[in-house]
Amino acid sequence: MAAFGTVFMPQMTLATFENSNWSSPELVSSDSIQLHPGAHVLHYASTCFEGLKAFRHENGSINLFRMDRNIERMQQSSQLLSLPAFDASFLQKMITDVVKHFHNDVPKPPGSMYIRPTHIGTEAAIGKAASPTSSSMLYVLLSPVGDYFASGDQTLRLLLEEDGSRCAAHMGMVKSGGNYASALQPILQARASVNADQVLFCPNGDVQETGAANFLLIDGNEIITKALDSSFLHGVTRDSILTIARDMGMTVSERELSVDELLERAAKPESEAALSGTAAVLAPVGTLIHKGKEIPVGDASPGKTTLKLRKALNDIQWGKAEDKHGWLTQI
């Protein structure tokens, strides 16, 4: 199977912002774009993106999951990066148009169509280090994806990083390329030094998130995760899992979680930990690595509650359970 995100539908929808106006979106080839080498994005990183999925139900219908949330987050990212604004309905139409065009290619469960809206600053102006781009390009790429869990339910190893941070504190809630670039070196070092899968960033002992997912600690009937602030990404999966957990009668605690408390709770036999994100859904964490010590989470196997929550979310996405929060948009 091809690696996640390496296969693309041959066309995408694209619109440009020039002279204070958005062009009408068009369906164009997805294998290239034309960009001036001096484009603002290439020098001053005026770029943001989103990740959401379309699911095929048994009756053949195609359903987008919580598209409104991803569009809202992209509008917020664009605003915080001083990229041109757009209406939610504008991007919504670009997404639905391109998914409709390729509806026959949306994989069956456990696969899905991953949707990648992208917004970049295109003005050719290398003197604009301290000024926003006056032009931009917005496009929506599609990538069919298979079963992320094809290799079975392995658990993840996370290195707790207390000294560094994933990105600048005020940029955490922006889904921007620079944040991922800034997290790469710590992640590569963690892989090489302790064979960790991911780094759990815990600046000054405050448990935050990994390079591309939110972190949840499950202790019996309680689920604990950092309360929203501007320092980390407000995951749509995080919000969905917390909502499902509340529906199941669990106690949801959105608050600060220190590394000390995490390590203490993780050692309990009934504890579980998981990473939430659009790609991984809810991935079980088996081991925390801290100051050279390996701490198993619970019994280090995929947690029962983690698997139950993941199935509950998948069942809604795949149309096997009632969508009582109205998260799906059928197209």
Ligand X SMILES: Cc1ncc(COP(=O)(O)O)c(C=O)c1O
Q: Which is nearer to ligand X, 276 or 287 (CB)?
A: 276
Q: Considering the complex, what minimum distance in angstroms separates the CB of residue 174 from ligand X?
A: 10
Q: Is the dihedral of CA 234, 235, 241, 244 positive or negative?
A: positive
Query: How does DSSP classify residue 103?
Result: G
Binding-residue pattern over the window 83 to 122 for ligand X, x denoting contact by CB under 6 A: ----------------------------------------
- For 59, what's the count of Cα atoms within 13 Å in the CB-facing half-sphere? 6
Six-digit token pair at 226?
A: 């950092």
Six-digit token pair at 166?
A: 């994933």
Contact between 287 and ligand X per CB under 6 A:
no
**18 C-beta neighbours (distance < 10 Å), count:** 14
Q: Considering the complex, what minimum distance in angstroms separates the CB of residue 181 from ligand X?
A: 12
Q: Which is nearer to ligand X, 45 or 300 (CB)?
A: 45
Q: Considering the complex, what minimum distance in angstroms separates the CB of residue 299 from ligand X?
A: 26
Q: Which is nearer to ligand X, 16 or 119 (CB)?
A: 119
Q: What is the CA radius of gyration of the chain?
A: 20
Name residues contacting ligand X, limited to 203-242 (CB under 6 A): 209, 212-214, 233, 235-238
- For 302, what's the count of Cα atoms within 13 Å in the CB-facing half-sphere? 15
For 114-147, letters b (16+ CB in 10 Å) and e give: bbbbbbbbbbebeebeeeebbbbbbbbbbbbbee
The residue type at 280: A
Binding-residue pattern over the window 245 to 284 for ligand X, x denoting contact by CB under 6 A: -------------------------------xxx------
Q: Considering the complex, what minimum distance in angstroms separates the CB of residue 20 from ligand X?
A: 31
Q: Which is nearer to ligand X, 225 or 271 (CB)?
A: 225
Q: Which is nearer to ligand X, 53 or 290 (CB)?
A: 53
- For 25, what's the count of Cα atoms within 13 Å in the CB-facing half-sphere? 21
Q: Which is nearer to ligand X, 209 or 219 (CB)?
A: 209
Q: Residue 252: beta bridge partners?
A: 223
Query: How does DSSP classify residue 146?
Result: -
Binding-residue pattern over the window 299 to 318 for ligand X, x denoting contact by CB under 6 A: --------------------
Q: Which is nearer to ligand X, 172 or 302 (CB)?
A: 172
Name residues contacting ligand X, limited to 52-81 (CB under 6 A): none
Burial (CB count within 10 angstroms: exposed 0-12, middle 13-18, buried 19+), residue 71: buried
Q: Considering the complex, what minimum distance in angstroms separates the CB of residue 234 from ligand X?
A: 7
Six-digit token pair at 252?
A: 């949801």
Number of residues that bind ligand X (CB under 6 A): 13
Six-digit token pair at 262?
A: 């995490």
Q: Considering the complex, what minimum distance in angstroms separates the CB of residue 144 from ligand X?
A: 18
What is the spatial distance between Cα 73 and Cα 66, in angstroms, rounded to a whole number? 11
Give me the residues that bind ligand X (CB under 6 A), please.
51, 209, 212-214, 233, 235-238, 276-278
